[in-house]
Structure 1
Amino acid sequence: MTDARVLGEVVVIDDVGPARRGRAHPAAAATSVLLLPALLLLGGLVLWPVLRTLHASVTAGDGRFVGLAHFQAALGEPGAGAVVARTLVWALLVPAVVTALGYLLATASRRSQEGWLVRLILVVPIGIPLVVTGVTFRLVYDPDPARGLVTLLAGGLLAPTGGQAPQFLGPALVTVSLMSAFVWAWVGLAVLLFRAALDALPPSLSDAVRAFGGTRWDVLWDAQWRPLLLRTAAVVFTLVALATARTFDLILVMTPGSVRDEASVLALRVWQTSGGTTSGPGAALGVIWLAAVAVGVLGAALFVRQGWPPPRRSHPVPPAPRPAPPRRLPRLAAGAAAIAWLVPLGVLAATSLHAPGDAAARGWWEARPRLNSYAEVLGNVELLRSFGFTLLLAAAVTVAVLIVAVLAAYPLAGVAGPPAQVTGVLLMFAAIVPIQVIAGPVNEVLGVALSAGTTRGLALVHIALGVPFAVLVLRNSFADLSPEQVRRPRVDGRRWWGRARRLARPNVPALIAVAVLEFVQVWNDLVVGLLFSGSDAAPLGLFLYGQARQFVANSGALAAASVLASILPVLLVVLARRHVIAGLVSGGLR
């Protein structure tokens, strides 16, 4: 941006446009300073641990190169092949089911007058910790028909034929049960993403396709899927596929110890092999996992970024769109989905409203509601301490992530072309690196920088894990500003920090999305607390996991604690759902 005098008047010559967007961002020296906190966190707690894991996978404890020996040992363990195959099934089948259900329910709820209520019900599981989801579905699928609703109903249906109720938490069906719980937890996100895409479609496009003789399938393809829904489906599938790497919490809480091996995936196997240390076989399994994640991220980034060709016909836009009348079948489907999604929530709430002894001995439908379990939970000093600790931890981590991410996102928004694409892929990879894979090297870093197993170490790990996705979302949000929004602070003669402050104002929705997602992630966490907590740290997820070890005896109090633990994250997700979806759409995979 320069100025000159024309006929004695000062005029502004604009050199800050889409092609020269970087002029609105700080110079190289300031950029280095702004990026330094993010680079230190990601370099020390993500990049170096990944390289250390790669090194440990091909070397012995004394540093001697051993080639593929660790891979052969890890894959030669009993059941290792089944674990890898089961992980692939999780990464392919579950996202496909979630994507299909998400689209169908988004369409059905959009065509029903009660659609807003259906979507609200489907959103609730998004905020529930996976630990609580595991508790909920373990109650639903309890193999004892005196306590398990599904087992009781299945037994009643099969009794006339002389059959026995299948054991949903037995070896044969435990993986199916786990997948059903995961689908229940994630379908709401898919519904919201598809609903946002459907709302963004021009309402008159379907009429234009029909006006040119298009069939029902032409309308579906040319007016919906080709313009936007293919990309949305790719985003949904990829997000859920990457999330399946975090099935650790669900498997650890929901499966009885006797069948855990039959349900194990790489998330659990790596932890069982190496825990929080660096070992050769564990590192080898981690490298296999990292390779799959890297291929998935690269493929997703390339696929989602592809621009779809324009429709085969050039359709004029009719003057007035015709609203679709409500149909009976979509309303019934949406209502049935809402009822199905309410059942697990009802089981959890009903179990929490019984005395601990009643909840352990018989089904919630056989005893009168009482508040004894809540009284026991609220009188537990350890639980109250855990609530307070987790609240402070989540708030502090969220503030730190926002600061570091804003500082890094502002200069990165000025990067364009291939460097921006490479930066996006690297940030996405860093955002989904499984913590179990790098836990040993991270503990080594923390042991050098500060005593491992402290609250500061736990907070640092959470910050490092949260920064990549936060930077990705905010970078794209900054980059999406209009040329006028970018130009104005520079015309006003502001320095780069003043411009950053002005440019942050239109990005408040993205900031809210990052804050909500980060707070909920830390609040709902189990695996980071399990791997890095010390005696002075008491994360809520770790407390609930400890109570779940005596599941039947503690089911009443555990259900009450789970309800209380879910209130805050559910409220945040429900109230900020529009901002969260906008952040995922703008920042997720670009």
Structure 2
Amino acid sequence: MTVQTAAPRPAPPTPPGGPAGRAPGRPSPAARLVAVLRGGLVQVLLTVVALVWLTPTAGLFVSSLRDADDNAGSGWWSALVHPGSLTFDNYSAILGDSGITQAFWNTVLISVPATAAVVVLAALAGYAFAWLEFPGRDWVFLVVVGMLVVPVQIGLLPVARLFGAVGLFGTTAGVVLFHVAYGLPFAIFLLRNYFAEIPREMLEAARMDGGSEWTIFRKLVLPVGRPAIASLAIFQFLWVWNDMLVALIFAGSDAQPLTVALQSQMRQFGANIDVLAPGAFLSLIVPLAVFFAFQRHFVEGVMAGSVK
């Protein structure tokens, strides 16, 4: 007796271009979007938006080059008709003020260590939370994520009492420690999620070649995570450089940054704009220089996050 088995059912035909049904040679949605953004009309629109966005900065710079009477009598745009009235005397006066120059260097001494410490500690912690196994790792990471919802204002009074008890209140180190403490949760969360996207095969191959965890972190993880690290450094630096609330509370008279020094100069805006305008522009030009210096890495980090 012969048993007949059913013939295997033929597999359905594969759509052209693969399982997704995309026609051969058809660009992806991301490629089509990039092609549209490269169009001439979009470029013109983006140029107009950039010019509008930079108009306040240009106005601040022109105002900083005018004397107090000219600023009180007319708008900054009138100086474009009479450029001969512009002068750098305001900058000479403000750079000759020891209080302003000391406040500028105080801002540097606060922003640079606070940014460097957050980036280094967050990179180490992000790698540990992403790829190292240790007891309670997930619970500790949940605690770190939970700290993201704690507002800065809630910690001002308790931290001020703690710093006063240990002798850090009113010092540059106290301001730096506060910025580091409140910048780490977001930094760890950002870098941990970025490092977790690194293919496991890369790390396993490095371990099989005899690489230690420190070698893998230094020679593999850090180069791969450079866009995210650069983006974090930009955000942290801008936040610390432009901060006034924390510095107003924790910085003493000898450690006050430029934002607090300019705030103390404010009597009436029209009365001392010759001091405020050049001081504000000096405070603005450094973050702009930092952003433009690292903009390529920043764009790479944004695009990598959108792809992932």
Fold shared per TM-score above 0.5: yes
After superposition, residues 207-218 of structure 1 pair within 5 angstroms as none
Deviation at 1:488, TM superposition (A): 2.5
Higher relative contact order (CA 8 A, sep 6+): 2
Match of 1:340 in 2: 52
Matched, 1:364 2:76: yes
CA contact (8 A) 1:356 1:373 kept: no
Aligned to 1:96: none
Q: CA deviation at 1:493?
A: 2.6
- Residues 172, 251 of structure 2: 8 Å contact kept: yes
Amino acid at match of 1:360: A
TM-superposed CA distance for 1:484, in Å, is: 2.6
Q: Give the 3 Å change call, closer, same or farther, for CA 394–432 of structure 1 in structure 2.
A: farther
- Superposition map of 1:66-85 within 5 A: none
Q: Is the 8 A contact 2:248 2:256 kept in 1?
A: no
Give the 5 Å matches for 1:152-163.
none
Q: Give the Cα–Cα distance (whole angstroms) in 2 for the partners of residues 586 and 423 of structure 1.
A: 27
User: Whole-Å Cα distance in 2 between the matches of residues 415 and 402 of structure 1?
Assistant: 19
The CA distance in 1 between the partners of 2:213 and 2:39, in whole Å, is: 52
Residues of 2 paired with 1:514 and 1:336: CA distance?
28
Question: Structure 1 residue 383 and structure 2 residue 100: aligned?
Answer: yes
2:120 to 400, 403, 421: 403
Amino acid at match of 1:551: F
Deviations 1:9-41 (A, max 9, x none): xxxxxxxxxxxxxxxxxxxxxxxxxxxxxxxxx
Structure-2 residue corresponding to 1:326 = 39
Distance (whole Å) between structure 1 residues aligned to residue 261 and residue 54 of structure 2? 26
1:402 Cα offset (Å): 2.5
Whether the 8 Å contact between 1:454 and 1:535 is mirrored in structure 2 is no
Distance 1:513 1:359 in 2: 38
The equivalent of 1:486 in structure 2 is 203
Give the Cα separation in 2 of the matches to 1:411 and 1:363. Answer: 55
Check the 8 A contact 1:476/1:587 in 2, yes or no.
no
Structure 1 position 516, deviation (Å): 2.6
Q: Take 2:43 and 2:217, find their aligned partners in 1: how far apart are those partners?
A: 47
- Selected match of 1:316 from 16, 22, 38: 22
| Structure 1 pair 460–587 and aligned structure 2 pair: CA distance change class (3 A) | farther
Residue in 1 that maps onto 2:275? 557
Within 5 Å, give how 1:169-184 maps onto structure 2. Answer: none
Q: Deviation of residue 478 (structure 1)?
A: 2.1
1:192-203 equivalences under 5 Å are none
Q: Which residue of 2 aligns with 1:354?
A: 66
TM-score by length of 2: 0.76
The one-letter amino acid of 1:512's match is: A
Deviation track 1:266-295 (CA, whole Å, cap 9, x = no partner) reads xxxxxxxxxxxxxxxxxxxxxxxxxxxxxx
Contact kept? 2:119, 2:187, Cα under 8 Å: yes
Q: In structure 2, do the counterparts of structure 1 residues 582 and 530 end up closer, same or farther at CA, with 3 Å as the change threshold?
A: farther
Q: Call closer, same or farther: CA 1:340–1:429 in 2, change over 3 Å.
A: farther
Give 1:412 deviation, angstroms: 0.4
Q: Secondary structure at the match of 1:413?
A: helix
Which residue of structure 1 lines up, in the alignment, with residue 260 of structure 2?
542
Matched, 1:530 2:248: yes
Q: TM-score, with normalisation over the residues of structure 1? A: 0.42
Q: Is the 8 A contact 2:59 2:77 kept in 1?
A: no
Q: How does 1:419-434 map to 2 (within 5 A)?
A: 426-431=143-148, 433-434=150-151
Map of 1:406-555 to 2, 5 A cutoff? 406-414=123-131, 426-431=143-148, 433-502=150-219, 503-555=221-273
Distance 1:518 1:378 in 2: 27
Change (3 A) 1:563 1:372: same
CA distance in 1 between partners of 2:211 and 2:176 (Å)? 35
Report if aligned partners of 2:129, 2:141 keep a CA contact under 8 Å in 1: no
| Structure 1 unaligned regions, length at least 5 | 1-210, 212-312
Amino acid at match of 1:536: D
What CA RMSD, in Å, does the superposition of the two structures yield over aligned residues? Answer: 3.2
Shift of 1:563: 1.3
Q: 1:485 to 1:447 in 2, by over 3 A?
A: same
Question: Judging changes above 3 Å, is the alpha-carbon distance between structure 1 residues 564 and 315 closer, same or farther for their aligned structure 2 residues?
Answer: same
Are 1:568 and 2:291 an aligned pair? no
SS of residue matched to 2:39: coil
* Whole-angstrom CA distance in 2 between matches of 1:351 and 1:494: 57
Contact 1:348 1:559 (8 Å CA) reproduced: yes
Distance 1:509 1:515 in 2: 10
- Asked whether the 8 Å contact 1:353–1:370 carries over to 2, the reply is yes
- Preserved contact between residue 226 and residue 297 of structure 2 (Cα < 8 Å): no
